[in-house]
Structure 1
Amino acid sequence: MFEQVLTALIGSVDTIMVTNIGLASISAVSLFDSLNLLIINIFAAMATGGAIICAQYFESNQKGKANQALKQLIFSVTLISILITLPCILFRRPLLSLIFGSEKNVMDNSLNYLFITALSYPFIALYNAGAASFRTSQNSRLPMVIALGSNILNILENFFFVFTLSLGVAQAALSTLLSRIISALIILILLKQPKQNLYIDSCLSL
């Protein structure tokens, strides 16, 4: 639960960081953050469901099948996250108009924020899949440490982009994107270590 709170907190920090920019920026970030939370929870549920299959194989001493199930989980969440990302980017204006119907300044900021944060969806999915696999192998501390480090990095990036460079909403979103990319890369690198109870090799063929 704490790990999921940390994962969701990355987006919430953006709202805090843009409070000095203007009401349009605050509205853009806070409005879309609710949709981001929904998508994060979807990815977390998918990862947990896939990890259950891995756990069943792992507990029955079928490590090869458990690792194969892990590769299928990573492939599946990546594919589904891309299928979610593409329409969010391509149809972001009608999507925001349908959900929020915001005025022009809020809409412009929302479009920029949505475009950048939507790019992070595949990385959120990959992180959740990797974190679920570590929890399956009874190592819940590692993904929680990665999530905590990602939040700290996001705060530092926000300070730099928003306050030092004064780049506004788009750069608040960029700090979120970079934090999620780094989290996903770290957990995938760790999953490629054969010393792990569950791991993926260099070939992700199914």
Structure 2
Amino acid sequence: MHNKDKQILQIALPSILSNITVPLLGLVDVAIVGHLGAASYIGAIAVGGMLFNIIYWIFGFLRMGTSGMTSQALGKRDLPEAVRLLIRSMSIGLLIAICLILLQVPIRQLAISFIQPSTEVAHLATRYFHICIWGAPAILGLYSLTGWYIGMQNSHIPMLIAITQNIVNILASLCFVYLGGMKVEGVALGTLIAQYTSIIMGLVLWIHRYGKLRKYIHLSSDKLLWAKTAMLRFFQVNRDIFLRTLCLVSVTLFFTSAGASQGEIILAVNTLLMQLFTVFSY
């Protein structure tokens, strides 16, 4: 095996393992609420999870776009620009997250009115949504950080973060539901704790592994960081990714809405099918 092939595998294999862990988060939530004794619990996770899939997938360009542009900066040995890309991407992600939190009520009302689930599912999904929405800063920040790590040809750290996130999510959700006697709220809190654990771990590992790059943060003036040409390039690169993701999530939205219109049982069964489809996709 050539050295180039080995280098590609060193980057690709951890990324593959990280991707495999992604659908496990949804599977764990469904598996836990599936033992609570009512299809409405699975339906609530389906509706709530679908809302966050739409919200977060739409802004998945924070990861993919950041990865591509960071790799270009690394190839040119332009480390100050690589650092600016991380700050720029995480700042945009934080701004989007704040907007999502401020607009959480109209977003939830619009989604519920479009999907039209049963009264019980809508009630449980609302409780799930209003807890998990506070994880938006962590998730969008982690998108930027993960994309930056991959762009720097370091896919091992994202793999460790993804594995840790799953372990924390499983343990926290099980504790809240089975030890704390909580229902959907316990699953939501477990997910929220796992999300913030991941972003904190990602930042700590960045300081440990790339602490020497902190000097470029102080050298990056606001003029360079928010330069019009740099911002235009950032959004132009991510425009097509955004539109592509929008088309994908519209299919998921239709599938969930169609299942909800046929009752809690059909919605629960469709949720299980979608989870299997997600596993096969990754």
The partner residue of 1:137 within 140, 152, 157 is 152
Alpha carbons of structure 1 residues 200 and 121: separation in structure 2 relative to 1, 3 Å: farther
Which structure shows the higher helix fraction? 2
The partner residue of 2:44 within 28, 42, 56 is 28
Q: Is the 8 A contact 2:93 2:144 kept in 1?
A: yes
Q: Is the 8 A contact 2:169 2:194 kept in 1?
A: yes
Work out the CA distance in 2 between the residues paired with 1:19 and 1:168.
Answer: 11
Unaligned runs of 5+ in 1: none
1:71 aligns with 2:59: no
Question: How many residues were matched structurally?
Answer: 205
Q: CA deviation at 1:198?
A: 6.1
Correspondence for 1:19 = 34
Secondary structure of the residue aligned to 1:143 is helix
Alpha carbons of structure 1 residues 3 and 42: separation in structure 2 relative to 1, 3 Å: farther
Correspondence for 1:41 = 57
1:94 aligns with 2:109: yes
Alpha carbons of structure 1 residues 187 and 25: separation in structure 2 relative to 1, 3 Å: same
Work out the CA distance in 2 between the residues paired with 1:86 and 1:200.
Answer: 34
Alpha carbons of structure 1 residues 92 and 40: separation in structure 2 relative to 1, 3 Å: closer
RMSD (CA atoms): 2.4
TM score, norm. by length of structure 1: 0.87
Correspondence for 1:111 = 126
- Aligned-residue identity in percent: 24
Work out the CA distance in 1 between the residues paired with 2:67 and 2:186.
Answer: 34
Unaligned runs of 5+ in 2: 1-15, 226-282
Could you say which structure has the larger radius of gyration? 2
Q: Is the 8 A contact 1:51 1:70 kept in 2?
A: no
Correspondence for 2:100 = 84
TM score, norm. by length of structure 2: 0.65
| Stretch moving more, 169-178 or 17-26 | 17-26
